[in-house]
């Protein structure tokens, strides 16, 4: 008896083979569209993080597309007897699926969220606004755009069908599937390790792609004593996102009045050494400069926020100068190498700045000066007319960086984040400092008995005896505040968590803009 393949069975085989090639092409298109997620996310910052990014990108998007083929297109190959109908329906499904992926990518780019029930309200409200503004031209353009995209899918589907027997002979299925499976296994294996070790360059990518649920194995590892689950939970609680995509500055509206008779002088030395003492100024020893560079110190003084936020603050004018100006106060700034465009309106050269300070014609004078400038400015007349704060931004091996002032300080510990709230309070603004700064006015008593800031990728927390460093993986190191020697005491997790929460107040979602 001669066994031969029936026409129906042969058609199904051809359709399934065609479906695999059609899906492969759409996987490539989907991966290209998904590059939007990568381009609008922070770089991993490490070789392993980058390797994970690319393996996860290829395998996850490839898996989603292939899953769509198995769920929606493969059944058509077996149930629908017409190849033409299968190709048409598959093209419609592919066009809609990729359009949905592109929409999700744009949504992530704009708002930092994916399509989900949680984002449904946001999408609904923004869609209603957009639809109200659309005319027939916009609707026509969108329809035309989709028809062009659908036509492309139909052309590709037919081109593959005409070449399906030739493509089938190439025997590329095994190496291609092997490549994607290897990427899939590698990405999930790396994530299991990263999750157990709270390795931020990988863990921070968890929500980058839609429908992403990377593998974890904490329970299994803890069962076999490969992971201390209590230590893991504590380190995870101390994790902090060092990549700020959006910021709410100020955190709430600032309402206050000012005293037009007040005069405040802020001087920060960026070149040379400060010679102590200075006549008319007392020294406050418990002041700490926690920033990693002079530039970070300058931004901290202007904004009252740690360097964690400085990149996100580039589009915001410092409230320290903007608020007094809005009340009509005279503000002058001297900064020889100014790169902050928001200070241009207040910028003066050295002779102008010096003259205004000596004549006391400015309500708020902010100078980033050389050490020799102090002697020229801090005359007896100036110290008697101004409320003065002098800080030293030059890096030093000393644990603290004394502050010079002629005001009464009521805080036990101080940092550069306290300068902006102090200056505004001295000008008469009684608005709560927490609205625009992580610091507090030096002239007011408060219940906070620690300082918290960031330095590079570390969170720093200081109390009267210790300097606590929280690494980006949640590990904690403790140093004696006076000697700088590392100690091996246990840190109070409640205090550390309180410090992390204090830093997070200005971290917000991306500003929502109209569609």
**Tokens 């100020």 correspond to what residue?**
250
- Number of separate helices (H) and strands (E) present in the chain: 18, 15
Mean pLDDT across 207-234: 61
Quick check: 270 and 393 in contact, CB under 8 A? yes
Give the burial class of 477: count Cβ atoms within 10 A of its Cβ; 0-12 exposed, 13-18 middle, 19 or more buried: middle
User: How much is the pLDDT for 219?
Assistant: 52
Q: Which of 136-150, 319-333, 404-418, 494-508 comes out lowest in average pLDDT? A: 494-508
Quick check: 473 and 235 in contact, CB under 8 A? yes
Beta strand 364-370 with 264-271 is parallel
The residues of the chain that CATH labels 3.40.720.10 are 246-508
User: How much is the pLDDT for 474?
Assistant: 59
DSSP 8-state class, residue 413? S
Is the model's pLDDT at 415 over the cut of 80?
yes
Is the model's pLDDT at 125 over the cut of 50?
yes
Confidence band of 510 (pLDDT split at 50, 70, 90) = very low
In sequence order, the 6+-apart residues with CB closer than 8 A to the CB of 31 are 57, 58, 61, 62
Distance CA 216, CA 515 (A): 37
DSSP string across 350-370: HHHHHHHHHHT--SEEEEEEE
**Is the bond preceding 250 in cis, omega lying within 30 degrees of 0?**
yes
In sequence order, the 6+-apart residues with CB closer than 8 A to the CB of 359 are none
Distance CA 26, CA 17 (A): 15
Quick check: 92 and 150 in contact, CB under 8 A? yes
User: How much is the pLDDT for 462?
Assistant: 87
3-state DSSP helix/strand/coil % of the chain, to nearest 5: 50, 10, 35
Percent of the chain at pLDDT > 90 equals 34
Q: Does domain 246-508 have CATH number 3.30.70.1450?
A: no
Quick check: 365 and 266 in contact, CB under 8 A? yes
Q: Which of 58-72, 297-311, 465-479 comes out lowest in average pLDDT? A: 465-479
Quick check: 65 and 30 in contact, CB under 8 A? yes
User: How much is the pLDDT for 484?
Assistant: 79
Is the model's pLDDT at 344 over the cut of 60?
yes
> What pTM, to 2 d.p., does this model score?
0.58
User: How much is the pLDDT for 476?
Assistant: 76
Confidence band of 9 (pLDDT split at 50, 70, 90) = confident
More confident residue, 119 or 74: 74
Q: What angle do CA 282, 391, 277 make, to 5 degrees?
A: 35
Confidence band of 44 (pLDDT split at 50, 70, 90) = confident
User: How much is the pLDDT for 220?
Assistant: 47
User: How much is the pLDDT for 369?
Assistant: 93
Confidence band of 299 (pLDDT split at 50, 70, 90) = very high
How far, in Å, are 100, 135, 147, 214 from residue 140 at the CA level?
19, 9, 10, 40
Q: What angle do CA 378, 384, 389 make, to 5 degrees?
A: 55
Distance CA 480, CA 488 (A): 10
């Amino acid at each position: 008896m001669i066994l031969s393949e029936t026409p129906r069975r042969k058609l199904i085989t051809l359709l399934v083979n065609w479906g695999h090639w059609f899906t492969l092409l759409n996987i490539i298109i989907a991966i290209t569209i998904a590059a939007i997620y990568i381009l609008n996310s922070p770089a991993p910052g490490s070789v392993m993080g980058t390797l994970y990014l690319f393996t996860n990108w290829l395998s996850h998007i490839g898996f989603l597309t292939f899953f769509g083929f198995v769920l929606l297109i493969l059944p058509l190959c077996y149930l629908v007897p017409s190849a033409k109908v299968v190709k048409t329906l598959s093209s419609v499904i592919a066009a809609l699926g990729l359009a949905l992926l592109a929409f999700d990518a744009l949504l992530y780019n704009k708002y930092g969220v994916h399509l989900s029930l949680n984002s449904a309200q946001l999408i609904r409200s923004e869609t209603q606004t957009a639809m109200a503004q659309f005319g027939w031209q916009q609707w026509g353009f969108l329809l035309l755009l989709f028809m062009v995209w659908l036509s492309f899918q139909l052309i590709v589907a037919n081109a593959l069908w005409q070449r399906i027997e030739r493509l089938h002979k190439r025997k590329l299925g095994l190496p291609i599937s092997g490549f994607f499976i290897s990427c899939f296994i590698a990405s999930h294996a790396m994530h299991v390790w990263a999750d157990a070790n709270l390795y931020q360059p990988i863990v921070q990518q968890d929500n980058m792609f839609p429908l992403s649920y990377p593998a974890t194995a904490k329970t299994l590892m803890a069962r076999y004593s490969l992971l201390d689950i209590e230590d893991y939970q504590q380190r995870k609680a101390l994790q902090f996102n060092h990549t700020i995509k959006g910021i709410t500055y100020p955190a709430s509206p600032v309402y206050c009045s000012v005293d037009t008779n007040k005069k405040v002088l802020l001087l920060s030395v960026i070149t040379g050494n400060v010679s102590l003492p200075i006549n008319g100024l007392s020294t406050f020893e418990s002041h700490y400069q926690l920033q990693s560079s002079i530039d970070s110190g300058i931004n901290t003084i202007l904004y009252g926020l740690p360097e964690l936020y400085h990149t996100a603050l580039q589009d915001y004018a410092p409230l320290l100068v903007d608020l007094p100006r809005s009340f009509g106060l005279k503000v002058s700034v001297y900064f020889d190498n100014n790169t902050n465009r928001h200070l241009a309106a207040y910028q003066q050269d050295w002779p102008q700045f010096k003259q205004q300070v000596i004549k006391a014609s400015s309500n708020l004078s902010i100078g980033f000066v050389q050490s020799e400038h102090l002697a020229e400015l801090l005359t007896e007349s100036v110290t008697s007319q101004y409320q003065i704060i002098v800080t030293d931004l030059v890096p030093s091996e000393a644990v603290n960086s004394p502050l010079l002032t002629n005001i009464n300080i009521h805080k036990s510990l101080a940092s550069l984040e306290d300068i902006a709230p102090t200056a505004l309070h001295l000008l008469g603004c009684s608005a709560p400092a927490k609205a625009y700064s992580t610091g507090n006015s030096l002239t007011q008593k408060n219940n906070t008995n620690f300082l918290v800031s960031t330095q590079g990728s570390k969170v720093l927390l200081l109390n009267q005896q210790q300097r606590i460093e929280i690494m980006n993986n949640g590990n904690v190191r403790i140093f004696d505040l006076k000697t700088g020697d590392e100690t091996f005491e246990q840190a109070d997790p409640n205090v550390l968590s309180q410090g992390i929460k204090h830093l997070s107040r200005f971290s917000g979602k991306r500003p929502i803009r109209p569609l």
